[in-house]
Structure 1
Amino acid sequence: MRRRGSLQWQNGYPAPENIRNDISHGYGYVLGDNSSVWAYGAVVFDGESAYNDIQGEWLDDHPYVVLHRLAVADEVKRRGFAREFMQRVAELALERGISSFRVDTNYDNEYMLRLLRSLNFIRCGIIRYDSGERIAFQKRL
């Protein structure tokens, strides 16, 4: 991300222990085939505590799915795998009776910002983590 000019995901984050933690909690999902992983993300149905203190306003207070740490393998970037991953997360949420999808990203993550706009996510405000502020988005499914 640094090569693309983004300050998000610096200083070793996400680290292998973050991914191991995702997997141990049942959050780690991949998109791929039998020999390759094209995309990875943490799909969380347990809520996100940072989202309780939004500077702004969510579209609703319904249960939601949140996606963290979406990453696409360099060799398949710009082939639609991030979009497909997001669409599959939405399908998984709907299968579980969840009709709201939330996500946050850094202000300079142009790839994610463009993806969120193209998928009709609505900017709802700013949230804060220890690592800094993020732009928060939501989409009703």
Structure 2
Amino acid sequence: MINKNEIHFRKANTSDISVIWEIIQQSIERRRIDGSTQWQNGYPNLQTVESDVSKGFGHVLTVDNKIAVYVALIFNDEPAYSSIEGAWLTTGEFVVVHRVAVSENFAGQGLAKKLFDYIEEYTKSQNVLSIKVDTNFDNLAMLKILESKGYSYCGEVVLAGGARKAFEKVLM
């Protein structure tokens, strides 16, 4: 079991990019093995990670100073979210969660769930009270996490040419 004191959430830096890319490649393969179409078309790629980090979007969850989970957090900017078949819970500022990827070395330890706790703390610290996220219809692990963390299903958005389930959580 992982001790909470060993876990830290921080912005990714350029020296993290190679490890992050390795973790994303592991996640791409995991999605393929699970029979998912998500992340099977060349996205995300190394340039995506480099862009995330250079723009300050990339964040990592570390365990004993080793990168265990990667996520991109983007404030108020996801063009695909302006058109939803359904309705968002809020219309104000929000944080978008993209590209959650867990290292094979840390898979199955509940760290993706723990990541969402850190995302909520970070979002509140930025005085933003809404988190929006989308995922593939066949990403059962992420759907289960979102349900367990109290995210509300809001409808469908089209992203990267495909329909995605869209969720929002309002932080009070």
Common fold by TM > 0.5: yes
What are the superposed Cα offsets for residues 2-29 of structure 1, whole Å, 9 maximum, x if unpaired? 1012110102221110000101110000
Is 2:53 the counterpart of 1:23? yes
Between the aligned partners of 1:46 and 1:27, the Cα distance in structure 2 is 12
Which residue is 1:7 aligned to?
37
The worse-fitting range, judged by mean Cα deviation, of 96-105 and 78-87 is 78-87
Higher Cα radius of gyration: 2
How far is 1:122 from its partner?
Answer: 0.5
What are the superposed Cα offsets for residues 30-62 of structure 1, whole Å, 9 maximum, x if unpaired? 011454110000011132110000010001112
Runs of 4+ more than 2 Å apart: none
Between the aligned partners of 1:118 and 1:34, the Cα distance in structure 2 is 26
Question: Unpaired segments of 5 or more residues in structure 1?
Answer: none
Between the aligned partners of 1:130 and 1:42, the Cα distance in structure 2 is 16
Output aligned runs, 1:22-41, within 5 Å: 22-33=52-63, 35-41=65-71
More helix per residue: 1 or 2? Answer: 2
Matched residue type, 1:128: V
Is 2:117 the counterpart of 1:87? yes
Size of the aligned set, in residue pairs, is: 141
SS of the counterpart of 1:30?
Answer: strand
SS of the counterpart of 1:13?
Answer: coil
Between the aligned partners of 2:77 and 2:70, the Cα distance in structure 1 is 19
Between the aligned partners of 1:44 and 1:35, the Cα distance in structure 2 is 24
Kindly report the root-mean-square deviation, in angstroms, between the aligned alpha carbons of the 2 structures.
1.1
Is 2:110 the counterpart of 1:116? no
Q: What TM-score comes out, normalization by structure 1 length?
A: 0.95
What are the superposed Cα offsets for residues 48-80 of structure 1, whole Å, 9 maximum, x if unpaired? 110000010001112111110000011211111
Between the aligned partners of 1:61 and 1:121, the Cα distance in structure 2 is 16
Question: Unpaired segments of 5 or more residues in structure 2?
Answer: 1-30
Q: What TM-score comes out, normalization by structure 2 length?
A: 0.79
Between the aligned partners of 1:39 and 1:54, the Cα distance in structure 2 is 28
Between the aligned partners of 1:120 and 1:83, the Cα distance in structure 2 is 11
Corresponding residue to 1:73 among 96, 103, 107: 103
Is 2:135 the counterpart of 1:133? no
Residue identity (%): 38
